Structure 1
Amino acid sequence: MRLSARVDYALRAVAELAAAASGPDGGDRPVTAERLAQAQQIPPKFLESILLQLRRGGVVTAQRGPEGGYRLARPAGEISLAEIIRVIDGPLANVRGQRPEHVDYKGAAEALQDVWIALRASERLILESVTIADVASGDLPDRVRELAADPSAWV
């Protein structure tokens, strides 16, 4: 799996919003794009366009004005990594811009479709089970911790 810079920045910004929401003030105040950009070292102009996509996708809300900024649209525990990736980049897995179930192979390559579908299913197992709350708290699901702890996963 290859994550675009847009997805990486989106996940980091939303994790930062989740951390702010669980902070001492309970997330009552919106977080400015400038603060998010500084905290996660994201180019500010790039972040603005990502936040717009996240707002349109229903992940964050925006408040205008001097006390304005961004908040999560729902509790962080209800927002999966998969949802954010889909908002920013579209489907989790595609082949030449198509969903794996729409790709047709012939002959010796026919089984590739099953491989791509299985790959998407594996991605879903992880990305739909991990929420932004998990990331922001560092308390990842056991299965994710087990996979990441396997030395062969790092190679």
Structure 2
Amino acid sequence: MRLSARVDYALRAVTELASVTGAGRGRPVTADQIARAQEIPPKFLESILLQLRRGGIMQAQRGPEGGYWLARPAEEISLADVIRVIDGPLAHIRGQRPEQLGYQGAARALQDVWIALRASERQILELVTVADVAQGTLPEQVTKLVSDPRAWT
């Protein structure tokens, strides 16, 4: 799995918002505050925040008291939700969904491998919420996977 810089920055920005504002709690956070806290290029971040707002992950207000906040509680926003807003469906092979691929002969089982990979990826990314990351308390299933030394290589 490869995540684009856009997805990485989006996940970091949303996590930063969760740690500072929650959903509707506290004052909105400016794009500049998020950019500084997460070391994200400000111009790049602006376009990502626009996507996240359009995708229903966050809300925004203009003006001197303006900024960004989560559109719903961080506990209800999975990492998969954020990734889908930024990059679309979780797994594509050559720009197609795995179920749309047509493999022949000896390679036929590859389609099942790609579908299983997507299901595994989805299982983790839908399980982990923005709140989990912001609080540093990942689900047991994730910490178990991370504790396997093979996961680090």
Show the counterpart of 2:15.
Answer: 15
> Cα deviations across residues 56-107 of structure 1 (Å, max 9, x unaligned)?
0000000010110000000000000001000000110011111100011111
Distance 2:33 2:2 in 1: 27
Gap runs ≥5 in structure 2:
none
Cα distance between partner residues in 2 of 1:33 and 1:27 = 17
State the alpha-carbon separation in 1 of the partners of residues 25 and 20 from structure 2: 6
Could you say which residue in structure 1 is the equivalent of 2:36?
38
Q: 2:86 aligns with which of 85, 88, 95?
A: 88
Partner of 1:104: 102
Q: Give, as a single letter, the amino acid of the residue that structure 2 aligns with 1:140.
A: L
Aligned partners of 1:115, 1:152: CA distance in 2, in Å?
Answer: 20
Per-residue deviation, 1:27: 2.9
- Conserved? CA contact 2:21–2:29, under 8 Å: no
Q: 1:113-132 alignment to 2 at 5 Å? A: 113-132=111-130
Q: Shift of residue 34 of structure 1? A: 0.1
TM normalised by structure 2 equals 0.97
Question: Which one-letter code corresponds to 1:133 in the other structure?
Answer: A
Tell me how many residue pairs correspond in the alignment: 152
Whether 2:151 is the aligned partner of 1:153: answer yes
Q: What displacement does 1:28 show?
A: 2.2
Q: Determine which of 47, 62, 66 is the counterpart of 1:64.
A: 62
* In 1, Cα distance between equivalents of 2:107 and 2:120: 21
Q: Is the 8 A contact 2:52 2:86 kept in 1?
A: yes
- Partner SS state of residue 50, structure 1: helix
- Look up the match of 1:4: 4
SS of match in other structure, 1:62: strand
Aligned partners of 1:21 and 1:81: how far apart in 2?
18
The alignment-based identity, stated in percent, is 74
- 2:74: which partner in 1? 76
The letter for the 2-side match of 1:5 is A
Q: How far off its partner does 1:152 sit?
A: 0.7
Distance 1:10 1:28 in 2: 21
